[in-house]
Amino acid sequence: MRKTLVVLTCVGALLMTVAAGAFAAPTTLAISIRTLSSPYQVMYKNGAEAYANIVGLPLDVLTTEANSEKGLTDIKAEIARTGGNVAFYVDPNDAADAVSIAKTMEAAGVYWVSWWSKPADVKVWDYPHWICHVTFDGFPAAVFTATELLKTFKTPGQGKIIALQGRLGDTPNGERWQGLQKVLSDNPGVKLLEWESAEWDRTKAYNDTRAMLVANPDVDGVWTANDDMAMGAIQALKEAGLAGKVKVVGCDGIPEIFDAIKDGLAAASVLNDGNYQAELGLAMSLAAKQGKLNVSSLPHKYRMFEIPAVNVNAANVDQVKHDYIDNIPTYDLRNFFARWSRALE
Amino acid sequence: MSERQENAETKQVARVRAGFSDVLGAAGRWFRRAGVSGQLLTLLIVVLIFGIGTKGRFLSLVNLQVILSLAAIPAIIALGEHQVVVLGGIDLSIEGVVALCVVFVGLLLRNKFNANDVGLWIVPITLGIGGLAGFVSGLWNTRGRIPSFIATLGMSWILWGLAVYVSRGQTVALLDTRFQGVITGTVLGIPILALIALALIILMQVVQGGTRFGRYLYAIGGDEVLARQAGVNVERIKIIVFTIAGLLYGLSALFLCTRLGGSQAITGNNLLFPAVTAVAVGGVALTGGIGGAKNAALGALIVTALNDGLILLHVNPYAQDAVNGVVLVAAVALTIDRRKLGFIK
């Protein structure tokens, strides 16, 4: 009997120690992103690390590696590991994943912010712990890059282009494509000869561009939905002896495109500031967790919104590279909606 | 005309007809023996459809050069893959091996990221990394008795993780131009890259058809138990095959990196499925024991020509995947001699 009592006492003490440790543990910051193999996604990680250093909290970086199931499983494991004491920033692998993630977060009572992809008909305010969904506004970004491309033609506003879309069905791709369409409709002298979906992939962009250049050897410009594809297109143009004569535009702001703009191979890009993305997402989630942000009182326009990207062309490429690529800016995160540009429908 | 003259003429016509029929018969026998009649027929159909559909542009010298150039790297990868398939296995390590090799090529050749420049030593280094990865996969498969599917999949993930860790997700722009001539150069109008692939195809075909190694390869693919009973060192052959595959993936990585002018881990993405498709379309039976280097090469050529033709024909990208699927099934139906297969799984 005495032995049993001693054992029970020890077990109880152990459990209390563990529980006390758990309660005392600081909130973990966590980001779930697609991969660490892309410069743009690495910006998320850098921004998240910078924010974790500022607030002095531990950070976990989860990657889906383009596998939706892995993404959800890792999020569940992180919630279990931290006992729900976690603030999340998530870039869902696919738009459809957002719903499963929302249900998981809701069940665990974990606040989170999503970026880029979610089904259009899913409303954030139907989930009390889903603080907001934010994206960079792809439409004006593409309007800017397409307009810059048209300026490079021998006769500005008159010419032929080919285009490379990302993965068909991806929300950012759709927005950027709409931006290009708007510029084309405003400039009837510009003809889109052909487009392909290179699925955000540089090698496929290279292959597709080479074939499209055979079919359309007299193009004046190449529009692409992201910088990786732009770099693939530039390589194809180099082999066709057209690099520099036929300009390319991209989107996202990877380091290589800055050099391409400086070298006269690309006309423009748009920097989606991944550092800010991650810092803003984590700051909002942490504030909600600490009771400093009342999610339910936020108007709908602040629950699903877009923020502008940074336009880059030959005129400002050095400045943007210095400010955003070579250094991580210090952001004022006291007003979460300082960069709000428009509500998502 | 006398009766004798008429008879002589009739005999002459009969001899010519017989000769023509002999030639046709011999050609038919050669095609049957070579096992590529279906593949050539498929290629012919593809060429005819796209040649007519594009009003000859598909058959222009520029486009044929593009097709040969684009088919070269998939052909080299398919050469590595197909021997594992002939053995009755599968090699899923392509993307991981290429990712790690590409990262090392970027970091060791003259680049914008660091001061390294190993020059031509990059060739043995890249081949060494690829070969070592293949050798270890072979060891896991034979000594560890781990199915090739799992052994190579695990190897791919390990190397992918290493590639991401080493590269930190960054893209390294290449400054080295020593290999650029191989990528862009031609000899008698034929891309050098295609000639390298052709040399490898011929070498491998000769080894498969005229050496003990080749006989053992097909013996194991046909019936591993029987081959073992006949005294074939199955383990050694398997390890050699996996190592050769790794060497070829390493070589492909060097070419890919040079072609794209930069190194990033994701360059390895999206290479596995086209390689397996090329092997299958080329007529290499996934059940093992059937098909050779020429099959894999023709498969790569058909798949590349198909993708190129769809772009030249301006087939809507939304429909291209569906067209690819139909052609894949049709091509395999045409190219694989299913009478030789004991069963279809």
What is the rounded CA–CA span in Å between residue B296 and residue B276? 9
Strand (E) positions, B216-336? 262-263
The C-alpha angle with vertex B42 and arms to A210 and B25, in degrees rounded to 5, equals 135
Length of chain A: 345
The count of other CB atoms within 10 Å of the CB of residue B328 is 16
Q: Which chain B residues are closer than 8 Å to A231 by Cβ?
A: 171, 260-262
pLDDT of residue A13: 56
Q: What integer pLDDT is reported at residue B127 of this predicted model?
A: 97
Measure the CA–CA gap between A153 and A156, rounded to whole angstroms: 5
Q: What is the pLDDT of residue B15?
A: 76
How large is the average pLDDT for residues B307-318? 89
No. of H helices and E strands in chain B? Answer: 14, 4
Residue B249 CB burial class (10 angstroms; 0-12, 13-18, ≥19): buried
- pLDDT value of position B252: 97
Gap between the Cα atoms of B86 and B231, Å rounded: 19
Measured between CA atoms, how close is B283 to chain A, in angstroms?
A: 24
Give CA separation, B219 vs A244, B225, B238, B296, in Å: 55, 9, 12, 19
**Beta-bridge partner residues of A298:** none
Instruction: Determine whether the interchain pair A235/B62 forms a contact, defined as Cβ–Cβ distance below 8 Å.
Output: no
Cα(A27)–Cα(A50) distance, integer angstroms = 16
Inform me whether the C-beta atom of residue A235 falls under 8 Å from chain B C-beta atoms: yes
Q: Which amino acid, A110?
A: V
Which of B170, B151, B150, B159 lies closest to B96, judged by CA? B159
Could you tell me what percent of chain B has a pLDDT over 90?
Answer: 60
Residue B164 and residue A45: Cβ atoms within 8 Å? no
Q: B223 is written with which tokens?
A: 């019936």
**Nearest to B74, CA basis, from B335, B326, B305:** B305
Q: Tell me how long chain B is.
A: 345
- By Cβ distance, the residue of B163, B271, B312 closest to A214 is B312
Which residue of A214, A218, A263, A275 is the best one to mutate when testing the B interface, meaning the one whose CB has the most B CBs within 10 A?
A214
- Structure tokens given for B1: 């005309």
Residues β-bridged to residue A115? A134
B62 vs A contacts (CB less than 8 Å): 214
Q: Considering only CA atoms, which of B200, B191, B180 is closest in space to residue B69?
A: B191
**Do residues B93 and B133 lie in contact, with contact meaning Cβ atoms separated by under 8 Å?**
yes
* Complex ipTM: 0.83
How many C-alpha atoms does A41 have within 13 Å on its Cβ side? 25
Mutate to test the interface with A, among B170, B184, B272 (most CBs of A within 10 A): B170
Q: What is the mean pLDDT of the segment spanning B279-293?
A: 89
Quick one: DSSP state of residue B270? Answer: T
Q: Work out the widest C-alpha separation in chain A, in whole angstroms.
A: 97
User: Looking at A298-302, B145-149, B173-177, which range is the least confident one?
Assistant: B173-177
Determine contact: B164 vs chain A, CB below 8 A: yes
Structure tokens at B222: 């046909």
The residues, ordered by sequence, that sit 6+ positions from A296 with a Cβ below 8 Å of its Cβ are: A128
Q: Is A243 helix (H, G, I), strand (E, B) or coil?
A: strand
Q: What is the pLDDT of residues B196-253, one digit of tens each?
A: 999 999 999 999 999 999 999 999 999 999 999 999 999 999 999 999 999 999 999 9
Residues A1, B228: contact at Cβ < 8 Å?
Answer: no
What is the nearest CA distance from A49 to chain B, expressed in angstroms? 14
Distance, C-alpha A250 to centroid of its chain: 15
Q: What is the pLDDT of residues A5-42, one digit of tens each?
A: 556 555 655 555 555 444 557 999 999 998 888 778 88
CB A93 within 8 A of CB A67: yes
Q: Over the stretch B16-63, which tens digit does the pLDDT of each residue have?
A: 777 777 777 776 666 666 677 788 888 999 899 999 999 999 999 999
Q: Which pLDDT score, from 0 to 100, does residue B181 have?
A: 86
DSSP 8-state code for residue B277: H
Size of interface A-B (CB pairs under 8 A): 99
| Cα B103 to Cα B124: distance, rounded to the nearest angstrom | 15
Question: What is the rounded CA–CA span in Å between residue B168 and residue B190?
Answer: 38
The two tokens of residue A258 are 């800055």
Residue range B165-194: mean pLDDT, rounded: 89
Contact present, A254 and A227 (Cβ < 8 Å): yes
Tell me the three state secondary structure of residue A11: helix
Q: Taking residues B92-117, what's their average pLDDT?
A: 93
Residue pair A265/A316 in contact (Cβ under 8 Å)? The answer is no
Does the structure show a pLDDT above 80 at B345? no
User: Mind giving me the DSSP string for A60-110?
Assistant: EEEE-TT-HHHHHHHHHHHHHHHTT-EEEEE--SSTTHHHHHHHHHHHHT-
Whole-prediction pTM: 0.82
Among A115-119, B2-6, B37-41, B305-309, where is mean pLDDT lowest? Answer: B2-6
Q: How far is B315 from chain A (nearest CA, A)?
A: 9
Q: Do B167 and A235 touch (CB under 8 A)?
A: no
Residue entry with tokens 């504030």: A287
Contact B169/A203, CB-based, under 8 Å? no
pLDDT at A37: 81
- Give me the residues of chain A with pLDDT under 70, please: 1-24
A215 touches chain B (CB under 8 A): yes
Contact B173 A215 (CB under 8 A): no
Return the biggest CA–CA distance within chain B: 91
Q: B322 CA to chain A: closest CA distance, Å?
A: 14
Query: In the prediction, which pLDDT does A25 show?
Result: 77
Helices (H) and strands (E) in chain A, counts: 11, 13
Residue with tokens 């690529």: A325
Summarize the confidence of residues B3-21 as an average pLDDT. 74
